[in-house]
Structure 1
Amino acid sequence: MNWVLGAVAAAVLLAAAMFLRLIEATFIRLGRARASGLDEADGNSERHNGDRDNGHSSAPPRASLEKLVEDREVVLGPVSLLRVLAQVTLVGGVTWIAASRTGAAGIVAAIAMTSFALFVVTEALPRRWGVEANDRMARVLAPVARVLSRAGPLVWLARLLAVPAKALGPAATHGDSGEVTEDELVALASAAAQASLIEDSEAELIGQIMGLGDTIVREVMVPRPDMITVSIGDSVADALEKVIASGFTRLPVTGASVDDLQGIVLAKDLVAAHLHGIGTDGVVKCAQVLRSATFVPETKRVSDLMREMQESKSHLAIAVDEYGGVAGLVTLEDIIEELVGEIVDEYDADEALVQVLGDDAFLFSGRLPASQLAEVLELRLPEGDWDTVGGLVLDRMGHVPETGETTELDGWCLSALEVEGRRINLVGARRGADSTGSG
């Protein structure tokens, strides 16, 4: 009879330890963002069931998973304490019984069998269920976890016993909070695409959206030398010729210089003025159809500017540097292209920013973002105050290069193949080429 009671007690302790370890593994694995998603999905399901039953759903409300993982130690502390007590009691009881009935060999055998059972039943099995079926286990175990988190004496005792561990352990960091960081979100999207849960284009778009938050206006703007402008004294007819030649529907209007920017003119205003307007001596000037321009610092975040453009219904902004000079202009199309890629219409010149010449040989436009060159060539960029490939090569050389002059970067030979004035328009790249040559 004593053997039967002992076996029953051992089975109960083993089952309790397994159940508690399952709760522990589940809520260690469960992140706050995932818990919030499960709560939302369960809420939508309950509302759907309520609507189907005419608002009289019999299902009890679920325990909020997000609240349980906000301070997961309130759950994990009591659970771990009870699990350790169950395991220690089980090992101690089996050892005591073996010592009273058998010799040293029996004690060793009992400890070995108990250790094997504890590893399989209370470690390996619960951990696999808690990780592989995390969503399902979290939903099932949430009510029990909520009850244990409200067991005041257990929570207090667990916190007290955990004080030495907190004092000796590392300080908590932001990454330990259970929140998903940007890098983790991009990695999750990439993994989901590889598992065919989402399209590759969707994963790429998620990465582009994450990157947009760190992008500044200077990285996407049309630089000052490339700006197409009209003078405040130009006629509407002259401005229309530039609109037709460039294909742009909005042009900045300058005064004495580019830094003396007066505003912008719209193609539709120019057409209307040309057809119906009468100016001095029969000539309509750009000043008569001038609209105010929006000025933003070149260091402004693109994501903030996009929201401001949406609110103000503007499509063009002038970027200024720290000294108040005009650095370039940025359009809503430039920002959108950061998300979806290059948008080419019938007026855009078909200019390839990257050309593959052969094995380990490329041509890059000087205005290509340097980060894209790093992706294509798989190299690490040095620190520097530049954004484009042309700026990178100019910085590496330390002077305005002659056509064909080269420099070396991380095993790649970069050649300035086309130099216009003080600007590098075309850069060639070859792996392992001699950087001392003229390219």
Structure 2
Amino acid sequence: MITLIIVAVVAMICAGGLNTVETAVAGISRARVAELQRDEVAGANALLKVVENRARHVNVLVILRTLCESIGAVTLAAVCLKLFEPERWAIVAAVVLLALFTFLVLGVFSRTMGRKNPYSISLATAVVLSFMAKVLGPLEKLLIWFGNIITPGGGFRDGPFATEVELREMVDIAQERGIVEHDERRMIQSVFDLAETSARVVMVPRPEMVWIEADKHCGQAVALCVKSGHSRLPVIGESVEDIVGVIYLKDIVQQTYSRTDGGRGVRVSEVMRDCVFVPDSKPLDDLLDEMQRTRNHIAILIDEYGSVAGLISIEDILEEIVGEIADEYDEAEQAPIEPLGDASYRVQARLSLGELIELYDEAHGRQLVFDDEVTDEVDTVSGLLAYELGRVPLPGSYVEYAGLKFTAEGSRDRRGRMRVRTVVVEPTAEFYSEEEDTDGQS
């Protein structure tokens, strides 16, 4: 009895550990691993070999995990048969315990750990995983071959465990070979990112919303639309927490065009439309699909406490894919990257760290290295400023990081608030000293 319990527990723990490693290995980027290898991080050489043949190693992990799960399930059933009478209660107990363990440990806990610490886990297990792949390689090929035979229409040569990360790498390779352009690659990668990006990331937060009271007349609504530059405005009742609808500029114009009083005789509440409320945690791909189906161009976002968090338009979501969309009335913006000479640049505050790394790699042959803690928390240049400062950056704020000095630039917006719009990135003495060290070694 005790032996069976020990075997069941050990098998399930091993299954959970293998699931963690599988999730971690499936979630790492080959480019990032190559960077770790150049930095001579322990285990990076072995891990690079793993990601170069990722499908094979993931297949081996799946085989081992399935074996451990099977052993754990059988021994757990045997333990339950000895502990419970009659037999049907033993079966019920085994099913309940196995379902709970599978969901909580194999599903939630192990996968969460794998996604939160992909590189540290992969580096720590790369050598052992490479060894297991060599030992179980023939078995893995045999099982994949047999599985493809019994699959209607045939299967995949490397097995069915391809991941989104592999698809991303395929896009990167396609760009390197000239099959797709840089902008096309960025758009494809952005489509992948939609599922991982929540609406709150791109929303207009509540303090920045432009709204109008329901008891105002249409003439005032037209004036506000012209002044703010928005063609759709949320309509509030007693407070901004009481959003009762959305007003469209074209609806207001239809009501005021032929009237001699300039629309003062028509209240906003008479022409407003119903508004859509969605949680601010909703993924952008799901939200875009919903807005297309319901033919809504604007939605009000609600936070976890039921309060208004902000609003989002379909244009905000599309800009995540294709970049900034400017119409004839938007002010001309600076280029995302403006060279200033001597490896210095003026970049838009929302420029991604990935684009900054790519810029210095292509233009100067320098690999900028950011700590995992930073890349886990920060996506943009302005985000890096805020993270290092520990507060919202203001124009004139600066930090030094990765051999570069980041200085915030900005001005007052239409509501008189200071906004960081661009960041000047310039090399420091550390940047040039590292460059000299690199030249000396070569």
Q: Given the two structures, how large is their TM-score scaled by the length of structure 2? A: 0.51
- For the residue of structure 2 that corresponds to 1:265, the secondary structure is strand
Mapping 1:365-404, distance limit 5 Å: 365-366=348-349, 376=359, 378-380=368-370, 382=374, 389-399=381-391, 403-404=395-396
CA contact (8 A) 1:400 1:422 kept: no
- Cα deviation for residue 327 of structure 1 reads 2.9
- Structure 1: state its 5+ residue gaps: 1-69, 74-144, 151-175, 435-439
CA contact (8 A) 2:395 2:419 kept: no
State how far apart, in whole Å, the 1-side matches of 2:307 and 2:429 are: 40
Match of residue 400 from structure 2 = 408
Point out the more displaced range, 391-400 or 299-308. Answer: 391-400
Match of residue 254 from structure 1 = 236
Q: Which amino acid aligns with 1:358?
A: G
State how far apart, in whole Å, the 2-side matches of 1:149 and 1:403 are: 63
Match of residue 67 from structure 1 = none
Match of residue 346 from structure 1 = 328
Q: For residues 392 and 403 of structure 1, do their structure 2 counterparts lie closer, same or farther at Cα, with a shift above 3 Å needed?
A: same
State how far apart, in whole Å, the 2-side matches of 1:375 and 1:325 are: 40
- Deviations 1:153-176, CA, capped at 9 Å, x for gaps: xxxxxxxxxxxxxxxxxxxxxxx8
- For the residue of structure 1 that corresponds to 2:220, the secondary structure is helix
- Cα deviation for residue 432 of structure 1 reads 1.7
Q: For residues 213 and 282 of structure 1, do their structure 2 counterparts lie closer, same or farther at Cα, with a shift above 3 Å needed?
A: closer
CA contact (8 A) 1:369 1:387 kept: yes
The reply on whether 1:283 has 2:265 as its aligned counterpart is yes
- For the residue of structure 2 that corresponds to 1:259, the secondary structure is coil
Match of residue 346 from structure 2 = 363
Pick from 419, 426, 430: which aligns with 1:430? Answer: 426
- Cα deviation for residue 179 of structure 1 reads 2.8
Q: Which amino acid aligns with 2:370?
A: R
- Structure 2: state its 5+ residue gaps: 1-58, 64-144, 151-157, 361-367, 431-442
Q: For residues 180 and 402 of structure 1, do their structure 2 counterparts lie closer, same or farther at Cα, with a shift above 3 Å needed?
A: closer
- Deviations 1:324-352, CA, capped at 9 Å, x for gaps: 33333211112112222222210222223
Match of residue 27 from structure 1 = none
The reply on whether 1:324 has 2:306 as its aligned counterpart is yes
State how far apart, in whole Å, the 2-side matches of 1:413 and 1:324 are: 41
State how far apart, in whole Å, the 1-side matches of 2:393 and 2:188 are: 39
CA contact (8 A) 2:241 2:307 kept: yes
State how far apart, in whole Å, the 2-side matches of 1:226 and 1:353 are: 25
Q: Given the two structures, how large is their TM-score scaled by the length of structure 1? A: 0.51
CA contact (8 A) 1:227 1:329 kept: yes
Q: Which amino acid aligns with 1:248?
A: H
For the aligned residues, what is the CA RMSD? 3.9
> Percent same amino acid at aligned positions?
35
State how far apart, in whole Å, the 2-side matches of 1:431 and 1:375 are: 16
The reply on whether 1:309 has 2:291 as its aligned counterpart is yes
Q: Which amino acid aligns with 1:428?
A: V
Mapping 1:216-295, distance limit 5 Å: 216-275=198-257, 283-295=265-277
CA contact (8 A) 2:395 2:418 kept: no
Q: Which amino acid aligns with 2:343?
A: D
Q: Which amino acid aligns with 1:362?
A: Y
- Cα deviation for residue 209 of structure 1 reads 1.6
Q: Which amino acid aligns with 1:430?
A: E
- Deviations 1:238-263, CA, capped at 9 Å, x for gaps: 21122233443211123344333222
- Cα deviation for residue 389 of structure 1 reads 4.3
Q: For residues 401 and 336 of structure 1, do their structure 2 counterparts lie closer, same or farther at Cα, with a shift above 3 Å needed?
A: closer
Q: Which amino acid aligns with 1:243?
A: C
State how far apart, in whole Å, the 2-side matches of 1:149 and 1:254 are: 62
State how far apart, in whole Å, the 1-side matches of 2:352 and 2:238 are: 32
- Cα deviation for residue 312 of structure 1 reads 0.7
State how far apart, in whole Å, the 2-side matches of 1:367 and 1:227 are: 20
Match of residue 196 from structure 2 = 214
Q: Which amino acid aligns with 1:427?
A: V
- Cα deviation for residue 386 of structure 1 reads 6.4
